[in-house]
């Protein structure tokens, strides 16, 4: 089970969002506490009644800006819980998070492949004082682990954000038929995701244990461009021998990828396309979280974040993969507030870790340079061979021309 905790200035936005889902029969009110009945005389959800329940707390508020405590609780897709089990889980979670005496309402959503809960409450008590929120994300995860053990639920698993779309399954080299596995992953990613650049496409594939390298160059005045695919381990190292895209098909080759990037770029420029992703990432950003807690919060919304980190632990890039919307976007594409510098200030590496890394950075580089079979080394070898063959062909043609000249003379 994963929780995504959000904060907002007013509860009206969260209430209207859930009401819209209820009106579309994509959600239902599961329970409410210390609130007026949230339905009108026609049985429809009543936003005014909910706001009337929250209003005394909001009016007593002293100086808290973000007064809303809005949580998304996502059980594992493997867990099939009854309504009563979901109620008990939500009640215990709110009690242990310190919101047991607060007014709150719980919605059960079924608008995606798995049921999940939205819990809406307030961060201020009846006297207008803000409830304690120290280490909120960490406490939330500890409570969820306890609830998983108590109710026999499946624990959240790294990589669970990947959807069940056809072909989207991590490549497993030990299973064999690697070319077919890579072909299936690459084509499924091209069908289901929008990547506006090579870097974003590479990040997406690496999440699925597939490496991709684009190489361009010039030999004897002639331009060449190609793509190399290969398998990777879960640790990010290459395994086996990479191969040219031509062994799969033109649809995953260099020219096809350039057209795909342009189509994706145009689609992502459409108004509102990136709004949900921006807002979800913004809601999860908090100085009270660690990097890992930030990842878990986004994962609850079906979003993977991949940080690029230098040897001393500094973040120099971030890519967000929204599996629900099929969008892969670097932080720079979302806006300045999602840049690498912002995340590095928000989630800096521990000072002790930085000092150790700086002391051993040269040694670390040396180990990396001699590491067994990193994918970039194999790709360089393959492409060097290609360059060598091109050069040899060039020399052969020049030699033939010399022979013809001598023969004519």
pLDDT band at 38 (very low <50, low <70, confident <90, very high): very high
Q: Which helix (H) or strand (E) holds 183?
A: helix 178-192
Summarised one tens digit per residue, pLDDT across range 331-354 is 999 999 999 999 999 998 776 555
Q: Report how far residue 90's alpha carbon sits from residue 84's, in angstroms, rounded to the nearest whole number.
A: 10
In the chain, the domains with their CATH numbers are 2-151 (3.30.930.30), 275-368 (no CATH)
Q: What is the pLDDT of residues 153-210, one digit of tens each?
A: 877 654 444 444 444 789 999 999 999 999 999 999 998 899 999 999 999 999 999 9
pLDDT at 353 (0 to 100): 52
- How many Cβ atoms sit within 10 Å of the Cβ of residue 367? 10
- pLDDT tens-digit map of 307-326: 999 888 889 999 999 988 89
- Planar angle of CA 231, 232, 235, nearest 5 degrees: 175
Q: How far is it, in rounded angstroms, from Cα 342 to Cα 322?
A: 20
Assign 233 to helix, strand or coil: coil
Please report the pLDDT score of residue 143 as a whole number: 94
Average pLDDT over residues 135-151: 88
248 pLDDT above the threshold of 50: yes
Average the pLDDT over each of 38-52, 82-96, 193-207, 373-387 and give the range with the smallest value. 373-387
Instruction: Say whether pLDDT at 372 is over 50.
Output: no
99/122 Cα distance (integer angstroms): 8
Predicted confidence at residue 316, as pLDDT, reads 92
pLDDT at 386: 46
- Can you give the pTM of this predicted structure? 0.54
């Amino acid at each position: 089970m994963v929780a995504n905790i959000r904060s907002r200035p007013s509860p009206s936005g969260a209430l209207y969002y859930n009401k819209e889902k209820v009106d579309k029969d994509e959600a239902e009110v599961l329970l409410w506490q210390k609130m007026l009945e949230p339905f009108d005389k026609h049985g429809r959800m009543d936003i005014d009644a909910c706001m009337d329940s929250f209003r005394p707390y909001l009016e007593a508020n002293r100086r808290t800006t973000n007064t809303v405590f809005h949580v998304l609780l996502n059980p594992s897709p493997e867990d099939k819980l009854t309504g009563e089990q979901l109620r008990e889980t939500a009640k215990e979670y709110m009690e242990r998070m310190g919101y047991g005496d607060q007014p709150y309402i719980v919605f059960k959503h079924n608008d995606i492949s798995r049921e999940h809960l939205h819990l809406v409450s307030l961060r201020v008590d009846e006297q207008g004082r803000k409830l304690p929120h120290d280490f909120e994300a960490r406490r939330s995860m500890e409570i969820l682990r306890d609830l998983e053990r108590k109710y026999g639920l499946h624990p959240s698993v790294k990589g669970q954000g990947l959807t069940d779309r056809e072909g989207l399954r991590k490549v497993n080299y030990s299973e064999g038929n690697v070319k077919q596995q890579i072909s299936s992953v690459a084509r499924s990613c091209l069908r289901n995701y929008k990547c506006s650049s090579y870097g974003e496409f590479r990040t997406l594939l690496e999440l699925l244990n597939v490496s991709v390298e684009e190489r361009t160059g010039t030999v004897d005045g002639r331009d060449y461009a190609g793509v190399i695919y290969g398998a990777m381990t879960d640790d990010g190292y290459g395994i086996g021998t990479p191969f040219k895209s031509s062994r799969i098909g033109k649809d995953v080759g260099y020219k096809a990828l350039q057209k795909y990037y342009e189509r994706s770029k145009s689609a992502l420029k459409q108004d509102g396309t990136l709004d949900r992703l921006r807002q979800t990432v913004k809601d999860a950003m908090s100085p009270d979280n660690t990097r890992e807690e930030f990842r878990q919060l986004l994962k609850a919304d079906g979003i993977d974040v991949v940080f690029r980190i230098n040897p001393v632990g500094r973040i120099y890039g971030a890519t967000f993969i929204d599996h629900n919307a099929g969008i892969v976007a670097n932080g720079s594409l979302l806006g300045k507030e999602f840049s690498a510098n912002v995340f590095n200030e928000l989630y800096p590496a521990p000072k002790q870790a930085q000092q150790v890394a700086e002391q051993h950075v040269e040694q670390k580089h040396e180990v990396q340079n001699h590491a067994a079979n990193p994918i970039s080394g194999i790709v360089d070898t393959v492409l060097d061979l290609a360059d060598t063959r091109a050069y040899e062909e060039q020399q052969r043609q020049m030699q033939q021309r010399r022979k013809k000249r001598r023969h004519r003379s």
